[in-house]
Structure 1
C-alpha cells in the first residue's frame, strides 16, 4: 500500500527531499510545467483531472483539454508508473438525490469518453487510465464500480468521501473494494489515522492526501510515535488545541538543518518547510500502521523517507 502526497505548483517539492515519494498532481492550468522545477522527478505519479478545482469555476475545459494538460505534465517527468484519471463530477456540492444520481451518471459518461480518448492515444506502457467510482450509498457505489469494470477499466479510485465521517468513509471504501478488488483501488483524499488503519486492513493499493501541506498552512506541525498535532504558539489562530513554542526531537531533513524554521508562521517559504516536516511524520505514522499489520518492526524507516544525501 502506498501513500501519494497531493502536490501543486506552489507547494514544497517533496521529491527533492524524499526522492521515492509517490505524487498526485491535478491537471489544472497552474500546474502545467511545474514538475519541471523538481530536481528529482517523481517515479510514481497520479495525474487527476482537477475536478474539485473546476467544479468551482464558471466554466470548465473539455475532456480533451484536460487530457492534453495531463499528458503534457506526463512528458515533464517520464515516471516509472503513472495513472491518468478521467473527469468526475464531485458529489459534495449535490444536495438532492436527483443531483447525486445525475452526478454519478455524468461521471460514468466522462469515464466512457475518456477511455475512448485514451485508447486512440500513443502512450508508454507504464501509463494506465483510472476510473473514478462515485456514489452516495452502497448500491450506487456498486453500480458505478460495475459499470466502470464493464467499460474495461482495471484501475479504480473512489472519490467524494471528504464530507463523510470516518466511519462512513470506511464503509464506502470497503464497498468499492469488494467490487473491484482492494489491490486495484486508490482512495482519494482520505488520511485520518482511523481511516489509514482501516485501509491497511482492507488492503487498498494506495491513497493520497494534501494533509501535510494543509496543516502547515494552518500553522500546525506533526510529530509521530505517537502521532500528534500541535499549533504554533506564535500563530494568531484562535484554537483550544495544544500549542508548541519550540521543536521536539526530529530527524526530518528540515529539523536536521534548522528546526526553529518550522516555528516561523510566515511567509510561505516556512509553510513549505513545515509541510515537508509534516509529510515525514505522517509517512512514519502510516509505515507503523503497515508494519503493525504485517507483524514487522515499526522502527524500520521506509525508503520513501530516506532523504537524499
Structure 2
C-alpha cells in the first residue's frame, strides 16, 4: 500500500488524533521556528520534514541556505521517535522556467545543496529512525534522469521528485515520474499530488509514497468528499462551483461524523474547516485503499 502523507501546518487539525496511523509532512515555512514535533498530542506513524523550497520560491524575502534549513529541521524534529525523513533545500522548477540553461542552473543549485546536506546529515550523529530524502528536479527526460543519477550517487536513503504541484495535466506528471523511476526504481516519494486519479495511477506504478494538501484545500473551499463511490459536494449555495449542494450529511463512519455529522456542514470558522479536513482526508485515504485492493485483486 502506498504511504499517503498529509501536508500539515500548525493551525491544522492533528490528524493522527483522529486517525492514529496517519503520516504527516511538515514544511518549514508552515510552522513557527520554535515549534517541535513533541507538541503533537499523538505522534504520526511517519514524518517528513520538508525544506519548504516551493514556498520560499514564491516569497524571496524568506532568506534560507542549506545550513540554516538543516538546523531548523533538527530543532523541529528533535525528540522524534517515529521514522523521520529530512529533505535538503532544493531549487524547484516552475512551469514558467523553460530555458534549458536556466533549468540546469536550478538543478546544479539543488545538487550543491544536496551534497552539503549529506555532509551535515552524516556528521550529525542522528538516531537510526532519521533518514535522508533527496529531491530530484527537472522538467524533461534529460534533466530529470541527469538529476536522478547524480542524486543516486550521493547515497540518500530515499529519493523523491518535486515541482509537480503546479502541473495540472496528469500525463505530464506521470511521464516525469516514469522518467525518474527508469533510473531510481519505483521506491520514491512524489511531492505535491492533489488529484485522486493521479494518486491512483502512481499506486499502480508501485510508487512508495505521496503527499497532498487536498483534504484541507477542499475543506477551506466549503466542499466535502465521500468515498465508495467517490463523490464531491459543496456545503454552501454561495460556493461558485458546479457541484451538487449537500443539504444533509450522508451516513459516514469518519471520526468527525461519528461524533456529529452536522459538523462538516458548518462554515465560517477555522475549526469547522479543520473538522471537514479530517473528514475529507479519511475519505481520500479510504478511496486510495480501495484502489489498491482492486488493483491487486486484478493483478495478483
What is the TM-score normalised by the length of structure 2? 0.93
Matches within 5 A, 1:128-167: 128-164=131-167, 165-167=169-171
Counterpart in the other structure of 2:86: 84
Q: What residue is the counterpart of 1:122 in the other structure?
A: 125
Residue 247 in 1 paired to residue 249 in 2? yes
Taking the aligned partners of 1:230 and 1:72, their CA distance within structure 2 comes to: 40
Question: Contact 2:36/2:77 (CA < 8 Å) preserved in 1?
Answer: no
1:151-203 CA distances to partner (integer Å, 9 max, x unpaired)?
222410101012221111011111111211112x0000114222122111210
- Counterpart residue number, 1:110: 113
The within-5 A match list for 1:62-77 is 62-77=65-80
Q: CA deviation at 1:34?
A: 5.2
Instruction: Give the aligned length.
Output: 293
Which sections of structure 2, spanning at least 5 residues, go unmatched? none
Q: What does residue 11 of structure 2 align with? A: 10
Q: 4+ residue stretches of structure 1 with deviation over 6 A?
A: none
Deviation per CA, 1:202-256, whole angstroms, max 9, x where unpaired?
A: 101111101101111111101001112111125x322222221221110001001
1:270 equivalent to 2:272? Answer: yes
C-alpha RMSD of the superposition: 1.6
CA distance in 1, matches of 2:113, 2:120: 10
Q: Quick one: structure 1 residues 251 and 159, their matched pair in 2 at CA, closer, same or farther if it must change by over 3 Å?
A: same
Asked if residue 19 in structure 1 is aligned to residue 23 in structure 2, the reply is: no
What are structure 1's unaligned runs of at least 5 residues?
A: 297-309
Specify which of 12, 26, 37 is matched with residue 39 of structure 2. Answer: 37
Query: Which of 91-100 and 249-258 deviates more?
Result: 91-100
Secondary structure in structure 2 of the residue aligned to 1:221: strand
- Residue in 1 that maps onto 2:172: 168
Question: Structure 2 CA distance, aligned partners of 1:78 and 1:27?
Answer: 19
